[in-house]
Amino acid sequence: MTSKVLLITGGGGVGKTTLSAALAVTAARNGVRTLVVTIDPARRLATALGLKNLGSEPSPHKNEPNLWAAMLDASASWKAIAHRHAPADVADRLVDNPFFEAATQHFPASQSYASAEEMANYVETRAWDLVVIDTPPSAGGIEFFSAPAEMRDLVGGRLLRWLTGGALPGRRTLFTLTARPALRIAGAALGSDLLERVAEFLMDMRTMYDGLARRAVQIEQHFRDARTVVVTTADPAPLREAARFYRELPDRVPDPDAIVFNRVLPDGWHNPKPPTDGPLIENLVRWGAEAHRQTEVRKEFAALWKTDIATVPWRPKTPTTLDDLAALIAKAKGLNLERLGVVPQ
Ligand SMILES: Nc1ncnc2c1ncn2[C@@H]1O[C@H](COP(=O)(O)OP(=O)(O)OP(=O)(O)O)[C@@H](O)[C@H]1O
Ligand SMILES: [Mg+2]
């Protein structure tokens, strides 16, 4: 048995975590053994998924037989990554090094890379039919897919420049260097032998290069085999992010398997004909106009990028139970659940 991978991506705050959970619950209820890996879910959503503790160890849901959930803990993942790719004594030294903390917490691609490497590990255990991966807010959609290459370049040499902001470290530049966020954090802990410690850290990181570079190639293969859902709303910033999947070079980003407009207002709200005036009537007319605008935005997007569009309705309350989540997908329109692996073919 091989696991299918479903990657849920899109701009910030569009509903990636919610829809990852919703698709996973739907899959589980259709008899698909499903693991959902979420990132920072709201507390009530985490509780509904049966996530009592932070941690990347998948836990089975006690009321939903085919559902497992895990929550990405990037810092713990990076410790495991160091132990996987560096010799044991170097890995021990690395994870205790404040620079390691700084680089793995603050380099933009590091959270995405941690989540991608966890994805590869889960898929390769073949314990699930479907692994649903929520992507980190920092990834901003397509950045998730370039994280393996970015990490490889970083460990392979760019780390020095990232730490120092381009300048080569020398005693005289120490003052300006220590103003850099990554070095400031480490500098406070390390004091005056900062430069020696930078050099030691860079050499330790370099021992990870071969392992990490090999893993990055395997992760990129998993990306190519995965199904990708791009979530957006009718608002300008997430729309621009979604459009990048069509604008950028096809070898850099996957062709989305679904474009999902989330928080969609009902079509039936277009052009309401209020009988009289008043604040409630004005409210009705405004929302009618917004529903109309959303429909036009979807039509434009579909025509411009020659793509089908799926919609998920805007629910009056935040979905927090498994039933709420399943209802989101039950009320969705235009989603091909077989293609996404959520319903068995
Ligand atoms: N269809 C919907 N109807 C009503 N509320 C929704 C819907 N989809 C998502 N939400 C709510 O919108 C908020 C943002 O959703 P969510 O956290 O899933 O977004 P996200 O894309 O994961 O955000 P981030 O980029 O910060 O990770 C949450 O409060 C969620 O409950
Ligand atoms: Mg999220």
> CA 331, CA 336: separation in Å to the nearest integer?
13
Concatenate the DSSP letters of all residues of 141-204 into one string.
Answer: TTHHHHHHHHHHHIIIIIHHHHHHTTPPP-GGGHHHHTTSHHHHHHHHHHGGGHHHHHHHHHHH
The answer to whether the CB of 232 is under 6 A from ligand 1 is no
- In this structure, the residue with its CA closest to atom 11 of ligand 1 is 318
Which sequence spans correspond to the domains of the chain?
4-86+110-155+220-267+292-330
The pLDDT of 146-157, averaged and rounded, is 87
> Residue 94 corresponds to which tokens in the numbers above?
């690395």
Query: How far, in Å, is the centroid of ligand 1 from the Cα of 227?
Result: 21
Percent of the chain with pLDDT over 70: 88
The answer to whether the CB of 98 is under 6 A from ligand 1 is no
The answer to whether the CB of 256 is under 6 A from ligand 1 is no
* Pocket mutation for ligand 1, best pick of 44, 318, 335 (most atoms within 8 Å of C-beta): 318
Measured from the Cβ of residue 124, the count of other Cβ atoms closer than 10 Å reads 12
339 vs 277: which has the higher pLDDT: 339
The atom number, within ligand 1, closest to the CA of 262 reads: 1
The pLDDT of 43-61, averaged and rounded, is 84
Q: Check whether 57 has a pLDDT greater than 80.
A: yes
Amino acid at 282: E
The atom number, within ligand 1, closest to the CA of 312 reads: 1
Closest CA to 236 of 299, 179, 283, 301: 301
The pLDDT of 224-250, averaged and rounded, is 93
Question: Whole-model pTM?
Answer: 0.89
> Residue 283 corresponds to which tokens in the numbers above?
């409210």
The neighbouring-strand residues paired with 133 are 7, 37
Q: Check whether 321 has a pLDDT greater than 70.
A: yes
Q: Check whether 171 has a pLDDT greater than 50.
A: no
The answer to whether the CB of 262 is under 6 A from ligand 1 is yes
The pLDDT of 234-257, averaged and rounded, is 89
Query: What pLDDT is stored for residue 331 in this prediction?
Result: 97
Query: What pLDDT is stored for residue 1 in this prediction?
Result: 62
Q: Check whether 172 has a pLDDT greater than 70.
A: no
3-state secondary structure 206-275: HCCHHHHHHHHHHHHHHHHHCEEEEEECCCHHHHHHHHHHHHCCCCCCCCCCEEEEEEECCHHHCCCCCC
The answer to whether the CB of 263 is under 6 A from ligand 1 is yes
Class of domain 4-86+110-155+220-267+292-330: alpha beta
Query: How far, in Å, is the centroid of ligand 1 from the Cα of 59?
Result: 23
The answer to whether the CB of 14 is under 6 A from ligand 1 is yes
The pLDDT of 308-323, averaged and rounded, is 95
The atom number, within ligand 1, closest to the CA of 41 reads: 17
The answer to whether the CB of 21 is under 6 A from ligand 1 is no
CB of 222 within 8 A of CB of 123? yes
The answer to whether the CB of 11 is under 6 A from ligand 1 is no
Please, which pLDDT band fits residue 236 given cuts at 50, 70 and 90? very high
Measured from the Cβ of residue 32, the count of other Cβ atoms closer than 10 Å reads 20
Cβ-Cβ contacts under 8 Å for 179 (sequence gap 6 or more): none
